[in-house]
Structure 1
Amino acid sequence: MDLKLDKHISGQFNIELERIMSSVLDMGGLVEQQITQALEAINNSDPKIAEKIIENDNKINDYEVAIDEECARIIAKRQPAAIDLRIILAVAKMIADLERIGDETCRMVKAAQVHFSGQHHQFIVDLDHMGQQVLTMFNKVLDSMARMDSDAAYEVHKLDKKIDKAYEGIMRQLMTHMMEDPRSIPKIMDVVWATRSLERIGDRCQNLSEHVIYLIKGKDVRHRSSEHIEKMLEVK
């Protein structure tokens, strides 16, 4: 990938930085696959896919460790500054959020071990709808990362409000149903935890968009309102 970096005395430095970002994108691709398969497992009540997702989480963990070690090696060897240091710092934050998204997919698939039918099946339909929104959000943030596009990253940042709204709607329905039918609580709780995991993945996607903006613009937009971010980025 082209990070549009200034050329260094050592061309190898550029290669190392670009290789790290490529590894981050590879890790992101694996996480994307995990989210997709988790939604499939829940829709089909397929415990085998769920087991595979849990097993593959180790691969995501391995990516995090390997990229962390490479970042530490570059800092020790190259003593980066300016944009180069920003890349290393942003990468460290990115892989932490990607790893946590992987953890959330493992929590989600517990709902795949329960068979839902009749009225309860509607909750899975709603969960899948929210899941597709989260998956789209994740796809977009990976794309902004690959293209080094801060404007696209900001658009992802704004999508979290839709995820939160979907989460609140589903949770209201689930709470109402459990109050009306206490016997359904054990089964419905699996949907509750899956919904919560999706909401957290949405939060992590927003974090990733902030890291992309920091990497490109050098501006920390964490904990800022949309209006403030637009002023910082000079969004028109």
Structure 2
Amino acid sequence: MDNMNLNKHISGQFNTELDAVRNNVLAMGGLVEQQLGDALTALHQQDQDLARKVVETDLQVNGMEVSIDEECTRIIAKRQPAASDLRLILMISKTVTDLERMGDVAERLVRMVLNNTSRPQPLLVSLESMGRQCIKMLHDALDAFARMDVEAAVQLYHDDDKIDQLYEGIIRQLMTYMMEDPRTIPQVMEVLWAARALERIGDRCQHISDYIIYCVKGKDVRHTKVSDPNAI
């Protein structure tokens, strides 16, 4: 972390603990990224075996969230961190919550496969395209987290705008399907939920960008629109 002073602690063990918990967050994020990719593939190919694998992975993601939160609590109780170190621990606790909820989205997506309900293929193609953009945004968010890169964090705001535009396009497409054939309404509503869940992944990645800015700059930028890292 170039912008932090983690190498200046008197206790080398404290450095080790902080590095370990940060690495665990990145490992959890990588697992969620894979989980989302597998979920989209399973949905597109209607692959029930892969869908069941995603459900199993979600249990692992849940366990990692609990483990990391417990480690954060232990560090706070034992080390009583202050300033940038405390912000880092708070950031990690919030980040794993957002990651776990992204994993829940993947698990819910594959329930559509396991329910074995037919859906118009063009709708699934649009959903997969949006989903791949969400995965890229998550990858970029994890990279910004690893480097504590404020400029990369600000870029995530622009990426979220692109995902919002894709979401609006899918909504228009879904409305057209329902108007042309009301019999498709139950299937379309399920796809609508999936699109909304993917749009929320973009929002959660933006949350991670907020946490990065807070950790590095010490400023809470939630509920604001940051466009210039130099203005923070």
TM-score bracket for the superposition, by shorter chain length: over 0.9
The percentage of counterpart residues that share the same residue type is: 53
- Tell me which amino acid in the other structure corresponds to 1:106: E
Question: Is 1:5–2:6 an aligned residue pair?
Answer: yes
Cα distance, 1:110 vs structure 2:
2.7
Matches within 5 A, 1:53-202: 53-113=54-114, 114=116, 120-202=120-202
Establish whether residue 219 from structure 1 lines up as the match of residue 219 from structure 2: yes
Aligned to 1:24: 25
Q: How many residues align?
A: 230
Q: Using the TM superposition, name which of 175-184 and 141-150 deviates more.
A: 175-184
- What is the aligned partner in structure 2 of residue 234 from structure 1? 230
Contact preservation (8 Å) 1:28, 1:142: yes
Looking at structure 1, the residues matched to 86 and 13 of structure 2 have their Cα atoms a distance apart, in angstroms, of 16
Whole-angstrom CA distance in 1 between matches of 2:131 and 2:89? 31
Letter in 2 for 1:148: M
Distance in 2 of aligned mates of 1:158 and 1:210: 13
Match for 1:137: what amino acid?
Answer: M
For residues 46 and 187 of structure 1, the distance between their equivalents in structure 2, rounded to whole angstroms, comes to: 18
SS in 2 for 1:226: coil
How big is the shift at 1:146? 1.2
Structure 2 CA distance, aligned partners of 1:116 and 1:162?
Answer: 29
Structure-2-length-normalised TM-score? 0.93
Task: Deviation per CA, 1:100-154: give whole Å up to 9, x if none.
Answer: 111111112233344657xx21111111111111111111111111122111111
Q: Tell me how far apart the structure 2 counterparts of residues 143 and 128 of structure 1 sit (CA, whole Å).
A: 23
Distance 1:218 1:39 in 2: 37
1:112 aligned partner, one-letter code = V
> Which amino acid letter does the alignment assign opposite residue 56 of structure 2?
E
Paired residue type of 2:77: A
Coordinate RMSD, CA, aligned:
1.8
Q: What SS does the corresponding residue of 1:234 show, helix, strand or coil? A: helix
CA distance in structure 2 between the aligned counterparts of 1:63 and 1:213, rounded to whole angstroms:
24
Asked whether the equivalents of residues 138 and 205 of structure 1 are also in contact (C-alpha less than 8 Å), the reply is yes
Corresponding residue for residue 49 of structure 1: 50
Mean CA deviation greater in 90-99 or 187-196: 187-196
Letter in 2 for 1:234: N
CA distance in 2, matches of 1:141, 1:147: 10
- For residues 185-222 of structure 1, the C-alpha deviation after alignment (integer angstroms, 9 at most, x for no partner) is 22222211211111111111111111112122221111
Residue identity in the other structure for 2:34? Q
Structure 1 length normalisation: TM-score? 0.91
1:60-107: CA deviation from partner (whole Å, max 9, x where unpaired) = 111111111111111111111011101111001101100111111111
Structure 1 unaligned spans of 5+ = none
Residues in 2 aligned to 1:200 and 1:153: alpha-carbon distance in whole angstroms: 17
Kept in 2: contact 1:44–1:112 (CA 8 A): no
Q: Distance in 2 between matches of 1:45 and 1:171?
A: 22
Q: In the alignment, is the contact (CA less than 8 A) between 1:111 and 1:194 conserved in 2? A: no
